[in-house]
A and B are shown apart, each in its own frame.
Chain A
Amino acid sequence: MLSLHVIGRTLLAERAIDNLGRLFERSDVRSRFDWEIIDILENPAIAEQACILATPVLIKTTPPPKRSIFGDLSDTDALLEELGIF
């Protein structure tokens, strides 16, 4: 599960959502992950529970280990490497 956390629909949030959409155009990503978008403004307690320092942040909960990837996901190489897709 990949959860993209954003705070409102800022420019960076929109860019991250676009980049996430492009990522899921890949079949190897689609076959291994589900995705969701969480807006922290709707539930501020989530930021505290997940210890979020910056947004947008893509949090991989499964498969373990848990990982956090900050930013608008424009750095595709870093993103794929972190997700273990080559």
Chain B
Amino acid sequence: MNRSEAANGSSKASSGIEGLDSILMGGYPARRASLIMGEAGSGKTTLSLFFLVAGLQAGESVVLVTCSEPPEHMIEYIDGYGFPGTGWAADGRLRIVDLRPNPTDIVAGEYELTPILLRVENAVKTSEATRLVIDMLENLDVAFQDSGRPRRELQQLFSWVAGTGLTTIMNCGTPHASASAGILAEYLAEYYAGCVIKLSQRVENRLMTRVLRIVKLRGSGHGTDEYPFSMDAQGVGILPISDVLLNAEASMEQLSTGLAELDDMLGGDGYYTGSIAMVSGLVGTGKSTFAAQFCKAALDAGRRALFVSFEEPRTEILRNMKSVGIDLGPHLADGSLDMFSVRPTEAGLETHLLNLARRIDDGNRDVVVLDPISAFIDMGRPTEIKIMLLRLIDFLKLRGVTTVMTELVRSGVNPVDQIAVSSLTNIWIELRAIESNGEFNRLLYILKSRGLPGSNQVREFRITNQGIMIEDIYIGTGSMVFGAARAARQVIEEEEIENRDAVLQRVREALDLEQRAFKARQREIDAEHAARMQDLESEVRAIERRIATEQEARADIRRTRG
């Protein structure tokens, strides 16, 4: 009986792999048998070795029954993953029962498999084991009938195992491998295994992707998706999409973006710690510089950062950033900064994910720069890439890592989120270079700032030899202007402001002059008018007198003739 697990009543036994425990809601069913099926090389043996290691590390004894690999190889594998396999084997806590058939063995008559039962039972009892692994039983030809069905004694073995309350893993190939493997897997899955895990692998873009799926997990919930995983010298890595996130506490702490003006635009002190910011832009818009500026500010604030480049060699980034006044060298030297370059094509998505996760955990990093994530676009199907990034973002958020990722936008001036992960980020900044009046001007837009006030402003910035400089916002009378045109416009306006009083004085004088001139002209006209009136009136009187004189003369003549 499993002492530790039985004692604390736990219904799960750790698989020794963090991500798998999370998918299995804690681990394999304790005191039950689980079945791991998969093709040769799909990782069955590795998974079961980690299960044994988890027990050994908890102070338990374990028994490994091998039907294909020599015991010394099994111990070497455990040693190779950095555990004291040789030591555990020597002190008897790791017992290996070697059931490998010898190809020269022959059969001459009827036989029984009693020794197998005897040996397994003996190993379990003398070591007081709590965990048992039976690896590749289908290779044990003598244990199967010609039809491929397991012999009666194997059923006895399984019943015995079930009765002992040992937490057991049995590994088995797929029906493609052999008839006996297919029949055994079906038999175990149907009658004995409380948990069935299927491993498979496929090659895409010349890179291998391994996938794990829980086919059955009795009496417990479990993830039902296919989970990509990776295997390398350090073991098995699985990063399931976790729902723990929903309960993760949102940080109220903020971390400067490295630019006071950008901090202001984001409503104060910068990015919330644990948030994900994306900086998008066309080639040459300054994405990496923005990321490096943030990285440097975080390092200066005592954070531990990881800068990953998917495009440029480390030395080039260091040199380029130093030339714009962002010197990351000292931080790299004192270990507060870890920096590496890796081409997306160097490994499968899963391996990239695992390496990043390890590097972040091993180095205790709380700030990460990924430059640019768009480099993954050609690495597989868009959904696969999106899922990988989603899981990466989950991982980063879970660890509270503040992250800046850059994205190279391929064409067009509209923000194009080619990997469609912007919805998963907290902040989305777009950088643009606008050509006008014969020069390039760099502009910064905040497209999204979840949980922060944000700013709808468009700001111009320059990359100087002292880093990025964000210009004050220009609110002019004309249309928006940038760069030299903007500077020219500003000078003109400044001159105008200085001359304002003089202009006012001038206009006032003109007004006064106008008024006086008008009045003067008015007097002139009045005088002219009066003079003309007088002339006309005297002319009228003269004519009237003449007429009167003539009428008197005619009247005198009539009287004289009369």
Which A residues have a C-beta under 8 Å from some C-beta of B? 7, 10, 12, 15-16, 19, 40, 44, 47-48, 51-58, 65, 67-76, 78-79, 82
Contacts and interface: CB of A to CB of B under 8 A. Distances in A.
Contacts of A67: 104-106
B109 interface: yes
A10 B112 contact: yes
Contacts of B98: 51
A24 to B, nearest CB: 15
Interface of B: 97-102, 104-116, 118-119, 122-123, 140, 142-143
Contacts of B109: 15-16, 19, 70-75
A78 to B, nearest CB: 4
B92 to A, nearest CB: 13
Contacts of B101: 53
A82 B111 contact: no
Given A53-B143, A55-B115, 14 more contacts: A7-B115, A19-B109, A48-B97, A48-B119, A48-B122, A51-B100, A54-B142, A67-B104, A68-B105, A71-B111, A72-B110, A73-B108, A74-B109, A76-B108
Given A48-B97, A53-B99, A69 B108 contact: yes
Contacts of B108: 58, 69-76, 78-79, 82
B70 to A, nearest CB: 11
B273 to A, nearest CB: 57
Given A53-B142, A68-B102, A7 B114 contact: yes
A76 B98 CA distance: 29
Max chain B C-beta neighbours (<10 A), residue from A52, A69, A70: A70
Give the 7 A-B residue pairs with the shortest CB-CB distance, closest first.
A71-B109, A74-B109, A72-B109, A75-B108, A54-B111, A78-B108, A52-B115
A47 B119 contact: yes
A70 B142 contact: yes
A71 B110 contact: yes
Nearest to A46: B115
Given A16-B109, A19-B109, A48-B122, A65 B115 contact: no
Contacts of B100: 51
A40 B113 CA distance: 13
Contacts of A75: 107-109
B375 to A, nearest CB: 53
Given A54-B142, A70-B142, A12 B118 contact: no
B110 A53 contact: no
Nearest to A59: B105
Nearest to A5: B115
Nearest to B114: A7
Contacts of B112: 7, 10, 12, 54-55
Contacts of B97: 48
A60 B449 CA distance: 80
A80 to B, nearest CB: 9
A15 to B, nearest CB: 8
A60 to B, nearest CB: 11
A76 B122 CA distance: 33
A58 B109 CA distance: 11
Contacts of A7: 112, 114-115, 118
A40 B111 contact: no
A55 B110 contact: no
A65 B111 contact: no
10 contacts: A44-B122, A48-B97, A51-B99, A52-B115, A54-B111, A54-B114, A55-B114, A56-B111, A68-B106, A79-B108
A70 B112 CA distance: 9
B207 to A, nearest CB: 40
Contacts of A76: 108
Contacts of A19: 109
Contact of A70 (B99, B111, B116): B111
B124 to A, nearest CB: 13
Given A48-B97, A48-B122, A70-B142, A53 B115 contact: yes
Nearest to B116: A53
B205 to A, nearest CB: 44
Contacts of A44: 118-119, 122
Contact of B118 (A16, A40, A56): A40
A48 B104 CA distance: 18
Nearest to A50: B115
B146 to A, nearest CB: 15
Contacts of B142: 53-54, 70
B475 to A, nearest CB: 88
Contacts of B113: 53-54
A20 to B, nearest CB: 11
A75 B116 CA distance: 23
A12 B114 CA distance: 12
A64 to B, nearest CB: 12
Contacts of A70: 105-109, 111, 142
